[in-house]
A and B are shown apart, each in its own frame.
Chain A
Amino acid sequence: QKEVEQNSGPLSVPEGAIASLNCTYSDRGSQSFFWYRQYSGKSPELIMFIYSNGDKEDGRFTAQLNKASQYVSLLIRDSQPSDSATYLCAVPLFSGGYNKLIFGAGTRLAVHP
């Protein structure tokens, strides 16, 4: 089982709709979770992070955590064509006294007008 798993997509949604992206993780002890956005040919950009103490909303983005089922979601409200990108979920793996981020393969989101 991979440490972080995502549906590769593509997830296609119409402009203005809510896009829901999911990520499952294997380490039940994980305390923080990160979402990166990556446009084609570009490097990942951090857009959201949450801790195990609750959900988080930032503008049109909401990150939700379900610890019992070990998945974290990213909701994008009022989706825009500019949101079309690959969304990477990342979870820190603690080893040797430090954390390193382990990434999922990403979900490709396509927002069509």
Chain B
Amino acid sequence: DTGVSQNPRHKITKRGQNVTFRCDPISEHNRLYWYRQTLGQGPEFLTYFQNEAQLEKSRLLSDRFSAERPKGSFSTLEIQRTEQGDSAMYLCASSFRDRGRGGYTFGSGTRLTVV
């Protein structure tokens, strides 16, 4: 169990550029979540995958955001035409289906700064 891995750890990009983040969950975890966290706030839910199926996408996610989880393994989160308001920590978490009782294991996050 190597934990949840996220890459890159930090990303600085110019407004209008596209960025892609990657998350490798714990191997036996079939559930994967993306959250976004801004300073002074708790993590906000963005989207959820069960295996390869994206089952929910928050209204926080505009059309500029897209996430995939091909083959139910790693996941990517892409932001197109970045805006300064996209600056945040993007957190990936995974869990194993256990009737929803268990907590998540978070990755170390990707901090995005849009300049």
Contact = CB atoms under 8 A, between A and B. Distances in A.
Are A and B part of the same complex?
Answer: yes
Interface of A: 4, 6, 8, 32, 34, 36, 42-46, 49, 51, 88, 90, 92, 94-106
Most chain B C-beta atoms within 10 Å of own C-beta, residue among A4, A36, A99, A104: A99
Contacts of A96: 55-56
A94 B100 CA distance: 8
A8 B39 CA distance: 12
A36 B50 CA distance: 23
Contacts of B50: 98
A106 B42 contact: yes
Interface string B35-65: 1000011111100101000011000000000
Contacts of B35: 103
A101 to B, nearest CB: 6
B100 A102 contact: no
A36 B89 CA distance: 16
A interface, by DSSP: helix, strand, loop or mixed?
A: strand
A34 B103 contact: yes
Given A45-B106, A90-B103, A95-B56, A103 B43 contact: yes
Interface residues of B, number: 25
B108 interface: yes
Nearest to A108: B40
Interface of B: 31, 33, 35, 40-45, 48, 50, 55-56, 89, 91, 100-109
Nearest to B109: A43
Nearest to B100: A99
A46 to B, nearest CB: 4
A94 B101 CA distance: 11
B55 A42 contact: no
Contacts of A103: 35, 42-44
Given A32-B101, A42-B108, A95-B56, A88 B48 contact: no
A19 to B, nearest CB: 19
Contacts of A49: 102-103
Most chain A C-beta atoms within 10 Å of own C-beta, residue among B31, B43, B55, B91: B43
A46 B103 contact: yes
